Amino acid sequence: MRQLLRNEWDKMYLPPLTISDIDYLLDYADNKHILTYFPVNPVSSFLVDSVTVGHVALWTVESIRIASCQNSQLPPGGFPSLNPMLGDTSFSINCKFSILDLTADKYKNWWRNPKDPHFRDIHTCPLEGTTMVWR
């Protein structure tokens, strides 16, 4: 995360992390610092010029969740979607910071709130039942 925060990320892939890294990553979920250097999925035809630290942190959590759910590694690079971007399929929220806030709350609740019915269930997407999706 330090490399990301200093805009020094020079790799095209996500770091190889595990479930034990999720708490650390969720500490950055609300961070709205804009990044210009960040992991990108080379198969995406959409150019993303900047994202926030929070987007990359949550994207990485989603990568860990999917890989853990499948008991395997994701394809090279570890990308859970084409880009570290979130969207609202209902189009009622179009501010990327508002979408980030809602998504960060969902992921934190899923991982940190034992009263959540899907508490730490890697087979359940934290965005299930919402209109938020990874793009």
Instruction: Tell me the per-residue pLDDT of 92-123, one tens digit each, with 9 for 90 and over.
Output: 988 889 999 999 999 999 999 999 999 999 99
Q: In angstroms, rounded to a whole number, what is the distance separating the alpha carbons of residues 117 and 134?
A: 22
Phi, psi torsion values for 34, nearest 5 degrees: -80, 130
Note down pLDDT in tens along the chain; length 135 residues.
677 677 777 777 777 788 999 999 999 999 999 987 777 777 777 777 778 999 999 998 998 898 888 776 555 566 777 778 898 999 998 888 999 999 999 999 999 999 999 999 999 999 999 999 998
Q: In angstroms, rounded to a whole number, what is the distance separating the alpha carbons of residues 111 and 107?
A: 6
Domain ranges of the chain: 2-134
* Residue 90: HSE in the Cβ half-sphere, 13 Å Cα cutoff: 7
- The rounded radius of gyration (Å) of the Cα atoms in the chain is 14
Phi, psi torsion values for 99, nearest 5 degrees: -65, -40
Tell me what pLDDT residue 115 has: 96
Q: In angstroms, rounded to a whole number, what is the distance separating the alpha carbons of residues 98 and 103?
A: 9
The strand pairing partners of 87, in sequence order, are 133
Contacts of 51 (CB under 8 A, 6+ apart): 34, 35, 38, 84, 85
Enter the pTM of the model.
Answer: 0.87
Indicate the residue type of 74. Answer: L
- Contact (CB, 8 A) for 55 and 73: no
Tell me what pLDDT residue 48 has: 74
